[in-house]
Amino acid sequence: MTEFDRALPDFRDIEVAARRLDGQAHRTPVLTSSYFNGVTGAELYFKCENFQKVGAFKFRGACNAIGALSAEVARRGIVTHSSGNHGQAVALAAAMNGLKAVVVMPKDSARVKLDAVRGYGGEVVLCEPGTANREATVRELIDRYGYHEIPPYDHPDIIAGQGTAALELLQDVPDLDVIMAPVGGGGLISGTAIAAKHHNPDIRVIAAEPANADDAARSFRSGRIEPAAKTHTIADGLRATLGTLTFAVIQRHVDEIVTVSEQAIIDTTRAVWARMKIIIEPSCAVPLAALIEGRYDARGQKVGIILTGGNVDIDQFVAASR
Amino acid sequence: MTEFDRALPDFRDIEVAARRLDGQAHRTPVLTSSYFNGVTGAELYFKCENFQKVGAFKFRGACNAIGALSAEVARRGIVTHSSGNHGQAVALAAAMNGLKAVVVMPKDSARVKLDAVRGYGGEVVLCEPGTANREATVRELIDRYGYHEIPPYDHPDIIAGQGTAALELLQDVPDLDVIMAPVGGGGLISGTAIAAKHHNPDIRVIAAEPANADDAARSFRSGRIEPAAKTHTIADGLRATLGTLTFAVIQRHVDEIVTVSEQAIIDTTRAVWARMKIIIEPSCAVPLAALIEGRYDARGQKVGIILTGGNVDIDQFVAASR
């Protein structure tokens, strides 16, 4: 049975993931902001995954997927490809478990990203840019060394791991009316949706993505996975295309996918920095931007928002958003 | 009896202040960072006053000083001069108590600072730049309207209010070996020192300031208040000169004043953003910068650091620190 034949993950998988993450991942705080309550007319609860290890929720999925491996498979070492948070997450989760991790990264990756993976103990293998090249390099490494691949989102253990953020948020704030997360490849929103609908089928699960990278919204409407077209968005964590598993979960459990303008993403990122005094990356601002821009009306409701990460090059952001 | 005849504030004043602040100010969280523990070799506890109301510890002093006023005095309205956090703090603390606040600000103040004071309900009176002009304008307003002045730091109720941050930190982490805060006018470090030495006379109380604005360190050495010379520092909250009361408390209770390079302040500000995912202003980075730059050796010790505020213009910082 291949990975893709496995049934979709369910709530029990998230409970198992929560036990695996206990003591490995941070239980991140939930913050509130009277300023943003005022601006949106809703009662907002921010689950701060920017304070998670490696600065992003991605650590949850990587940690769960690695924790699920048999000793024999784990011993062979782990490989993944990533130009962002997932690579760092795999590197750190592997190192914490005494395992070797190889991260395939495009040659043109920023120095700081290469350094981050290496800093967490990962081995970087450079490849030519482009998804096809990245996947081919991973394939070669697997053939040659027998590594085990941990994909970035389209895997039951990744989805279940990401779902633990919503699980914790709902433990802290059980009576949410709405829960929101950004959607890129769909790992986070899938896990979030499974956790939320199990907790209370009436919770509205809302995904948000940049209008300039609206493949998830288009897929949701058309009923089949639409490829991401050229994606010019500052929310660089949300450029991925949905996977087979994540799309299936989204179709079943997500109520709506809303899209947000670039200006709203930029303004909201800055507003969170200025008002909440926390660093979030632009991808992270998208759900709140949707409320502020009026793409979803949550007035009078209790809304949980997963703040996904805080890995942003401030100078680059300032230059790009001027 | 004039203000300046009053005895120096003591620990009981801080306890009174804590009761006044209960329900008005936030009890801010204490964060840790394994990264900065590694860099400094110490065990660090960060008291996050950047999450305080108005984004800075200044709210504590303003709130206490306003809470201490008799109904008759308060009714007349409050005046202060400030180009920064103190003005916002007075405006908000006054508004929360249904009182009028007038903030004298130099004509050349940034729009965002004027808007912030007005946003909290304060009335702005513009004056020519320069301390003498600011003080003259305050004097005029007092003569004309009978307002009560709340000074920025050299007042027992301000000092006692600022001391509540250390009081809370020591309640959360009672066995600190060292406590550090920046020094500008000296309100925060005075209150911190009174709280810490009452808690445990063996706690080392360390003040930190920019080498480019080292008037407190010079005063500490010479035994008299040395004026701040031309001060070119990015830590713009620390340009003030010590006051009579704050200097007296510092001489009695502070163990050492260390100075820090501009580069260390800039690098530490950025490092806190990147690693802790919280926004701090440059003035706030000075104590941690002192540890990183080796100006004080706290290896193997438990160190409390007051993170004073998060009100920073990111674009301006990026431009100035390039």
CA dist B62 and B80 (Å) reads 10
Q: End-to-end alpha-carbon separation of chain B, Å?
A: 51
pLDDT for the residue A322: 78
Domain coordinates in residue numbering, chain B: 3-56+155-320, 59-149
For A13, phi then psi, to 5°, come to -65, -35
pLDDT for the residue B6: 57
H or E segment at B315?
helix B314-320
CA-wise closest residue to A283 among A183, A162, A158: A183
pLDDT for the residue B214: 95
> Smallest Cβ distance to B50: which of A29, A51, A277?
A277
pLDDT for the residue A10: 96
> Smallest Cβ distance to A277: which of B55, B270, B315?
B55
Using the Cα atoms of residue B66, residue B69, residue B72 and residue B76 in order, give the sign of their dihedral: negative
> Smallest Cβ distance to A279: which of B29, B277, B318?
B277
* Alpha carbon distances (Å) from A204 to A175, A189, A221, A297, A305: 12, 12, 17, 12, 12
- Count CB neighbours of A106 within 10 A: 18
Q: At residue A83, does pLDDT exceed 90?
A: no
User: Using beta carbons and an 8 Å cutoff, which residues of B are at the interface with A?
Assistant: 29, 50-51, 55, 270, 273-274, 277-280, 310, 314-315, 318, 322
Cβ of B279 within 8 Å of Cβ of A270? The answer is no
pLDDT tens digits for range A301-322: 999 999 999 999 999 999 998 7
Please report, rounded to a whole number, the percentage of residues in chain B having pLDDT higher than 70.
Answer: 98
Q: At residue A2, does pLDDT exceed 70?
A: no
pLDDT tens digits for range A213-272: 999 999 999 999 998 877 799 998 898 899 999 999 999 999 999 999 999 999 999 999
Strand order in the sheet with B101-106: B123-127, B101-106, B78-81, B148-149
Q: At residue B278, does pLDDT exceed 70?
A: yes
CA-wise closest residue to B211 among B251, B183, B177: B183
Q: What's the gap in Å between the CA of A313 and the closest CA on chain B?
A: 8
* Token pair for B102: 């007038």
The residue type found at B288 is L
CA-wise closest residue to A231 among A267, A280, A154, A283: A283
Residue A5: pLDDT band by 50, 70, 90 thresholds? very low
CA dist B317 and B104 (Å) reads 25
Q: At residue A153, does pLDDT exceed 70?
A: yes
Please report, rounded to a whole number, the percentage of residues in chain B having pLDDT higher than 90.
Answer: 89
Selected catalytic residue, list A33, A47, A53, A58? A58
Instruction: Give the pairing type, strands A256-260 and B43-48.
Output: unpaired
pLDDT for the residue A231: 77
Strand order in the sheet with B178-182: B30-31, B43-48, B302-307, B178-182, B204-210, B256-260
- Between chain A and chain B, the number of residue pairs with CB atoms below 8 A apart is 35
Optimal mutation site among B277, B308, B316, interface A, most CBs of chain A within 10 A: B277
* Alpha carbon distances (Å) from A157 to A91, A240, B82, B105: 17, 19, 55, 57
* Token pair for A181: 């997360």
CA-wise closest residue to B240 among B103, B133, B83, B64: B83
H or E segment at B135?
helix B131-145
Question: Topology of B59-149 in CATH?
Answer: Rossmann fold (3.40.50)
* Token pair for B257: 């004043």
> Smallest Cβ distance to A55: which of B50, B277, B315?
B277
pLDDT tens digits for range B117-173: 999 999 999 999 888 999 999 999 999 999 999 999 999 999 999 999 999 999 999
Residue with tokens 């031309």: B230
For B318, which residue in chain A has the nearest alpha carbon?
A315
Give A39's contacts (C-beta < 8 A, 6+ positions apart). A292
pLDDT for the residue A6: 57
Question: Using a CB-CB distance cutoff of 8 angstroms, which residues of chain B are in contact with residue A55?
Answer: 277
- Count CB neighbours of B132 within 10 A: 10
* Token pair for A178: 């709405």
- Count CB neighbours of B255 within 10 A: 15
Q: At residue B96, does pLDDT exceed 70?
A: yes
pLDDT tens digits for range A18-36: 999 999 999 999 999 999 9
Instruction: Give the pairing type, strands A204-210 and A123-127.
Output: unpaired
Question: Using a CB-CB distance cutoff of 8 angstroms, which residues of chain A are in contact with residue B321?
Answer: none
User: What's the number of CA atoms in the CB half-sphere (13 Å) around residue A67?
Assistant: 27
CA dist B62 and B97 (Å) reads 12
Q: At residue B237, does pLDDT exceed 70?
A: yes
- The neighbouring-strand residues paired with A208 are A182, A258
Q: Do domains B3-56+155-320 and B59-149 have the same CATH topology?
A: yes
pLDDT tens digits for range A105-125: 999 888 888 999 999 999 999
Question: Using a CB-CB distance cutoff of 8 angstroms, which residues of chain B are in contact with residue A26?
Answer: none
pLDDT tens digits for range B158-217: 999 999 999 999 999 999 999 999 999 999 999 999 999 999 999 999 999 999 999 999
For A275, which residue in chain B has the nearest alpha carbon?
B55
CA dist A233 and A46 (Å) reads 23
Question: Using a CB-CB distance cutoff of 8 angstroms, which residues of chain A are in contact with residue B29?
Answer: 29
> How many Å is the Cα radius of gyration of chain A?
18
Whether A190 is a known active-site residue: answer: no
H or E segment at B47?
strand B43-48
Q: What's the gap in Å between the CA of B194 and the closest CA on chain A?
A: 28
CA dist B262 and B288 (Å) reads 13
* Token pair for A149: 């691949």
Question: Using a CB-CB distance cutoff of 8 angstroms, which residues of chain B are in contact with residue A315?
Answer: 318, 322
H or E segment at B258?
strand B256-260
For residues A11, A13, A19, A20, the Cα torsion angle rounded to the nearest 10 degrees is: -150
Q: What CATH architecture does domain B3-56+155-320 belong to? A: 3-Layer(aba) Sandwich (3.40)
Q: At residue B1, does pLDDT exceed 80?
A: no
pLDDT tens digits for range A163-186: 999 999 999 999 999 999 999 999
Whether A107 is a known active-site residue: answer: no
Please give the average per-residue pLDDT across A130-135, as a whole number: 89
What HEC string does chain A produce? CCHHHCCCCCHHHHHHHHHHHECCECCCCEECCHHHHHHHCCEEEEEEHHHCHHHECHHHHHHHHHHCCCHHHHHCCEEEECCCHHHHHHHHHHHHCCCCEEEEEECCCCHHHHHHHHHCCCEEEEECCCHHHHHHHHHHHHHHHCCEECCCCCCHHHHHHHHHHHHHHHHHCCCCCEEEEECCCCHHHHHHHHHHHHHCCCCEEEEEEEHHHCHHHHHHHHCCCCCCCCCCCCCHHHCCCCCHHHHHHHHHHCCEEEEECHHHHHHHHHHHHHHHCECCCHHHHHHHHHHHCCCCCCCCCEEEEEECECCCCHHHHHHHCC
* Token pair for A46: 């921010």
* Token pair for B271: 């490092």
Contact A233, A240 (CB under 8 A): no
pLDDT for the residue A309: 96
CA dist B261 and B295 (Å) reads 10
